[in-house]
Amino acid sequence: MPIITGANIQRFQLVTWRVAIGLEAKGMTRRGRSVTAIVRDHFKMKKGTSRMAVWQRLNEEIAKYEE
């Protein structure tokens, strides 16, 4: 099993958030704050930012690691 190290740690977190937002969109819930709200806070986005806008921002950030 490969070990996640270095810059891949941040990329792994972003990919995990993207998957979690997709699951929230399909109706899965969790206790506490939503992942969408957590990601909004992380990127300092406004409170009313749509889930799709957050999803797109995550895709942009992940793309930076793939260059």
Question: Which tokens in the block code for residue 20?
Answer: 């979690």
Whether residue 27 lies inside any domain: the answer is yes
pLDDT of 8: 86
- Whether the pTM exceeds 0.85: the reply is yes
- Spell out the long-range contacts of 2-11 with Cβ–Cβ below 8 A and sequence spacing 24 or more: 7/65, 8/65, 10/65, 11/62, 11/65
* H or E element at residue 59: helix 51-65
In a domain, 28, yes or no: yes
- Total domains in the chain come to 1
**Domain range enclosing 22:** 7-65
Q: How confident is the prediction along the chain (67 residues), in pLDDT tens digits per residue?
A: 678 888 789 999 999 999 999 999 999 998 999 999 999 999 999 999 999 999 999 999 999 988 7
Q: Is residue 40 part of a domain?
A: yes
